[in-house]
Amino acid sequence: MLEGRQGKTFRRRAVLAGAGLLTFSLGTTNARAARPDSPCHPVTTTPRYRGEVPTPSAVLGVDFGDRPFTLAEADRYLDAVAAASSRVRASTLGKSPSGKPLRYAVVGAPERVTPQGIATIGERLRLLRDPRTPLAVVDRLVKDTPAVVWLTAGVHGSEPGGTNAVLRVLRDLADRDDCAARAIVSTTVVVIVPVQNPEGYATGDRWNSYGFDLNRDWFALTQPETRAVTAAMAKLPPVAALDLHEMEGDSYFAPPYAAPIHHEVPAFARESKLGPTVAEEFDRQGIDLFSGREFDLLYPGTADAANSIAGLAAGITLEKGLDSPVPDRVGEHYLASWVSLATVAEQPVELLRAWNSAHRTAFEQGKRGHLQGAGLPLVRHYFLFAGDTTTELVWRLQQRGVEVHKLAAPLRVPDLRHYGRPARAETVPVGSYWIPLAQPAKHWVQTMLGEQNHATPTVFSDVSAWSLPLLAGVEAAFSGAELRPVAVPCPALPEPQAPPAKAPALGVLRFLPPDYPVLGSVGWLNHRLERMWRLPFRTVPGQGVTKESLRGIEVLTVPDAPAQVSYELLGEAGRAALREWVNAGGRYVGWGGTAQLAALLGITSTTLSSPTGEVPGALIRVLVDTDHPLGSGLPSTTWHLNDSNLVLRAANPAFAVASYPPHGSPDWFVSGHEVGASELGGTAVLTDEPFGAGRVTLFSGEPNFRAFTDGMARLLRNAVVRSSVGPRARGDTAPAERAARQLPETRSGFRVTVPSTGVAATRTVLAAFNARWAERGAAGRTTFVIENRDGFERHQPPWASRLPKRLSEAGVRPLAVVLPR
């Protein structure tokens, strides 16, 4: 999100959910659209229902615009439509972590939605995606292959309006027999997923039961829901993928997006007419809509960016304001969806031909080593070296159709560049993975394996780095040379599983209020322990910790939480019990705010301070002491995703297990955006020290961000399952405790960094929003840390997206604006 919701102001007109009450014009710059008074206009045509498909009122007792359907109602209505119509085939994509089914429907001409028909279409689309398919074959395929469109909703359970809307689309496609509906059914196949997040939808939460925002997981694929949708898309790939959301306010958003847009988004997606067609129709009807503001297309973990870059589809996010009444929310989402489907249906041959051309362009760019964007380096090849997490990285690439090979002979490379290192001549050994850029998935290869994202925004609605080798801690390199490797295709790898480990008696100290969903650091850790490492643990509530509640626990992991709030929740008795438990031999493993909590408890000599710079989710190289038990078996370097974390300084150098290299040294390297990160040079990322008979292990920030920072998570795993040996001399904890008490609360994910010339104006702008903030900084700049609504969750106030525009109007040029994620 980048700017305020300042789109055109139109005369509002309610868009009712009843069929036949919508009108629109398909007028676009393509100028083939039907006029509203055309005899077979997609919406002004009077709908004619066959009467075979029951209405929701008949099945559920409520209509589309009455209220949001429950999860059970959405599933029941989907099945009722499928049972009544030969145009619909319903099934289950997969299951959520708790076992809730992820339901979907395929809609089209009856012969196309049979298993054989779907398989045939998938094979034809595979050929169209392959730039090596002869053009004569392409010419035949585009004439009798339907254009596939995915229409999804409910990825955030607190945004239910889209679910009713896509079910209304399903009903109309299944039962209408007028020429407007037949035009869509005859030329397209539509895949409808009413609820992508059944767990969150059932509870009204944004997240699934592990606290994951599924619309941030589209490249990491840590969650079964995103894995299921991605696998199904690989079998029936779309030329357009529409994802329906809801937002604050009462307006409507349709693309084009605001900057920044990832440089590898192909022209086919960037220049899609779907968003402008929706905007034109909303304008004609006097419905409030904005484009080109607030929503960017940079972070590839969202559905729109991932589908645009990986699938070369027109990945479209459509957003409607939650402040509107249900009929408007459902009706406007239905209108935007129907307009988009009609636009695709009007020119399927042209779209499929352009889609094929986009894949050919990507292949040619890869052969030339051309990265989209001015001044970018020449890259033709990526290499991944063998390691414990390399196969998982390869698996993730393969899920998106990336062609991966293994070297069958050593390869001499004249300009091999290990990440963050200068180029040099080097031989890549046999068995290394080779990923050429000359392939249909070129855009995704570069996005996932690039050393940098190459964007230069100052406003961040998400992290600024995501290179898979860096996240995984995998040694990787790239080359721009023309090479002829001797290699064999890598077979499809199975879904990776962590090796078994002998686990100590493990506890997770949870400071979230009892009625909170499991989210953020707690949810990510629970997922890592249960589903990835399969390590049993016991949850220990932070409120009222006692000696008895800690009995039998050997290692206590303490996920990130606000330090001062957690300190108070423990109470005097709980703090004493926790100190006694560590002193008697327990291991305390904390990070972020709970590293500060350890200092407040007086159980560590590691001092903590607030950063003076701004690092909005950048990856920074870390040096690991592999002679230490917690670094044993790991590479000598990995990468930490720093999000303006606390700065750790070990009182004894022997306590530092992992540290940032000195700034300016050959090892220093940052992937992503940073302002003043040089202060981190030589400071600790992980410390481990004795306290009595126990140990205190602290990370400066989240080692398990969204469960996809696998390189740092290996250090966390060692901290959990390995016993430490090392200096037994206890450090002086008093300085660390004093420093911790001086720290402000650090939980805010909403920060603004400005040069000193903009400080006064920034204060004025924030005061006008009635914001509360703390200030920190160094010579020449100040960071405003804006207070959250509460201590545990990163909320975005309604005015957050308007802040960058207001700062610009006030003459402030920020160095970084980090919006809550």
Residues serving a catalytic function are 319
Whole-angstrom Cα distance, residue 618 to residue 404? 27
Q: What are phi and psi of 376, to 5 degrees?
A: -90, 155
- C-alpha span between 312 and 357 (Å, rounded): 10
Indicate the SS3 state at residue 228.
helix
Helix 115-129 and helix 135-144, axial crossing angle in degrees, nearest 10: 140
179-187 vs 326-346: helix axis angle to the nearest 10?
60
Q: Is the dihedral of CA 411, 416, 418, 424 positive or negative?
A: positive
Length, in residues, of the chain: 821
Q: Which of 307, 301, 302 is nearest to 272 (CA)?
A: 307
Rounded to 5°, the CA angle 752-756-758 comes to 65
| Three-state DSSP class for residue 206 | coil
What is each CA distance from 201 to 67, 205, 226, in whole angstroms? 14, 6, 15
- CA 105 – CA 86 distance, rounded (Å): 12
DSSP bridge pairs for 647: 609
Cα–Cα distance for residue pair 87/175, rounded to 1 Å: 8
How many CA atoms lie within 13 Å of 476's alpha carbon, on the beta-carbon side? 28
Contact 481, 414 (CB under 8 A): yes
User: SS3 letters for 656-723?
Assistant: EEEECCCCCCCCCCEECCCECHHHHCCCEEEEEEEECCEEEEEECCCCCHHHCCHHHHHHHHHHHHCC
Q: How many CA atoms lie within 13 A of 406 on its CB side?
A: 11
- Continuous H helices in 114-188: 115-129, 135-144, 161-175, 179-187
- Residue 172 tokens read as 């109309």
User: Are 508 and 539 in contact, with CB atoms under 8 Å apart?
Assistant: yes
Q: How many CA atoms lie within 13 A of 242 on its CB side?
A: 34
Distance of CA 268 to the CA centre of its chain: 22
CA distances from 531 to 16, 523, 685 (A): 44, 11, 26
Residue 424: half-sphere exposure toward Cβ, Cα within 13 Å: 8
- 765-770 CB contacts, 8 Å cutoff, 24+ apart: 765/803, 765/806, 765/807, 765/810, 765/812, 768/806, 769/797, 769/799, 769/803, 769/806
The C-alpha atoms of residue 184 and residue 169 are separated, in whole angstroms, by: 11
SS3 state of residue 53: coil
Structure tokens, 143 = 């004439």
- Name the residue among 814, 677, 800 with its Cα closest to residue 753: 814
CB–CB of 611/646 below 8 Å?
A: yes
Specify whether the CB–CB gap between 632 and 622 falls below 8 A: no
Residue 4 backbone phi and psi in degrees, to 5: -70, 160
Q: At what angle do helices 442-449 and 390-399 cross, to 10 degrees?
A: 150
d(CA 360, CA 340) in angstroms, rounded, equals: 25
Distance CA 608, CA 597 (A): 10
